[in-house]
Every structure is written in structure tokens, then in C-alpha cells.
Amino acid sequence: MAWMRPTDAVYVAAPLLVLALIRRHGRLLLALTAGLAAGAVDWVIEAYTDHGGLGQRLAEASRIQGGLGWQIAVDDQLRSLGGRALCRPCTGSMPHPLVTAWWFVLPVLAGLALVVAFRARRPSRTVVPLACATTAALPYLFMIGYAAPRFLQPAYALLAIPVADALWHLVRTPRGTWRPVAAALVALGLAGHLAVQLAVLQGAVARNTESRRDWDRTAGALHRLGVRPPCLLTGHEAIPIGYYTGCSSGATSGHNENTTVADVLRTADRLPVAHISPAGGTAPRYARTWPVHRISDLDVRVAPAP
């Protein structure tokens, strides 16, 4: 985790570090700190070579996320459960209650697992994953202004350990015999959960398949308009359409900002450049005089040939 997202790794490891300090477990503390350092070293070096220092990189990362700080994103995470890979901005109605019900059942089962663990006098095997799941989820529930289901996957994976323990306790007696009614209810609940997740998956696959067909059709139309590699696309869905077209993508504002208006215009002097906007949408000032072509539900403004 530290190789890919060092800050997330710190959140997950925080309870383990506290535990190692409390119990004065030197080997565990050494293993944790060495693992975090080894994973993050490339990221830290890159911060100084490419981003002006560690503080600057963290500040820039916060800016790109819209500013990290106290922001309640619980409702955003709920909206994302309907199959949205990225919920930014996270608007629209909530998914059907059947889609989000498991999200509320999960902490209840985790609490039950905690009770079971204390009664069995083996709390650490439940408290540790619960604590790590909580610290892993905190920044994505209360410090970021948008959501994506993948953000909470580490927390879900950690919660699965005590939740499985709780479900096993529900269906088995202390003597090891089955509780038929409880076992049937748990099996029914799991089957219902899988059915709901399958429906969400099918909907997500259908939407993504249609989007990719649209991007492919748009790319073909852009090629017919003379926008061929090497080229540059800006505007609405420029990144995925650019991938299908074989063009670079540019944004002069927003969280994907990577160029300036002056750079876009300089590029248009030597390469094909097009701006994409929803049909009837307003184009940026630099593209308003470019010829407009309607492609499906998009307005494509192509810069005059250099």
C-alpha cells in the first residue's frame, strides 16, 4: 500500500503502531516503520525531484482533491454504491435502499464481533482489524469532498475478518452445533446481498460498455474531421475520447489541469486540436470561433488547420 498510496498506508498502520508502542513490541514496531519507509521512499524522492519538496507535493495533492479537510462524504459514498466508479461531483438521488442496506448492516455485525471477541477473551484478533478499518475509512468519509467505491475497499477487506467471525458465531452454538434458523437467515441474507451486487455489476457493465461505444464512435467521427494523431483534445470527456482517438488530452482548469490556454493555441498552430462540449454547451473563449460539428450529443469545435 505504501508503494501506491503512502498516506493511506499510514492511516491503516496507525493502530498497529500504537499497539506496538503500548506493548513495547520492538520487532513489530521495526517491521511496520521499515515497511512504511521502504514503500514510501520512491514517493518521497520523487517529491523532491519533480514536485518541489514533500510539503509542496502534499499541498498539491490536497489542491487536486479539492482541498483536504473536514468534509462529510458519507452521503457521497452511499451515492457511489449504485455502481459509479467515480462520484465527482457526487450529485443525484440515492440508490435504492436494497443497494445500500448492507452498508448499514456491516458496522452492526462488526460491533457484534467485538462483543463476541470480548466474551471469548480474545479481543485483539477483532479489535486490531476493526481499528485499522476505522482509520483507513476516516479520511474518505470525513476529509474529502467526493467518493468512489474503491476508496473504502481496504476498510471493507479489514471489516470482513470480524464480520465473518460474527456470522460464524450466529450460526454455531458454543458446543459447535448448527443453529438451523440462524444459519438459514444468514444464508438468505448473503444470497440477497450477492444478488443485489450482481444487479449493480450488470448495470455498471452496461453503462460502461455503452460509454465505450460512444467514445469509439466519437473517435471515428473526429478522424473523419481530420483530428488524427498527433493531436490534442480539450473539454468534456477529453481523456477517454482522447485515448480512443489517439490524441493527448488537456485541461486548462479543474482537477485535471495540465496546460494553459496559450499552450493550447500554440499546439493548434502545428497540430490538430479540438474542443468537446455537451450539445448546446458553452465553449471556452479560445474555441468559440472554431467551426462547430455535431457528433451525437456533443459539440466538437475543431481548430482551423495549421
pLDDT in tens, 225-245: 999 999 999 999 999 999 999
pLDDT number for residue 158: 95
CA 262/CA 276 separation, integer angstroms: 18
Q: What are phi and psi of 225, to 5 degrees?
A: -85, 0
Q: What is the mean pLDDT of residues 256-283?
A: 94
Task: Kindly state the percentage of the chain with pLDDT values over 70.
Answer: 100
Q: Check if the beta carbon of residue 87 is closer than 8 Å to that of residue 147.
A: yes
pLDDT number for residue 174: 83
| Alpha carbon separation from 260 to 164, 250, 257, 267, 284 (Å, rounded) | 52, 8, 8, 11, 12
Q: Check if the beta carbon of residue 85 is closer than 8 Å to that of residue 204.
A: yes
In whole numbers, what is the pLDDT of the chain averaged over residues? 93
Give, to the nearest 10 degrees, the angle between helix 180-224 and helix 238-245: 60
Task: Kindly state the percentage of the chain with pLDDT values over 90.
Answer: 77
pLDDT number for residue 184: 96
CA 80/CA 100 separation, integer angstroms: 10
Q: What is the mean pLDDT of residues 85-106?
A: 90
The H or E element containing residue 105 is: helix 97-119
pLDDT number for residue 92: 84
Tens digit of pLDDT for each residue in 7-50?
999 999 999 999 999 999 999 999 999 999 999 999 999 999 99
CA nearest to 76, candidates 88, 64, 62: 88
Global confidence as pTM: 0.84
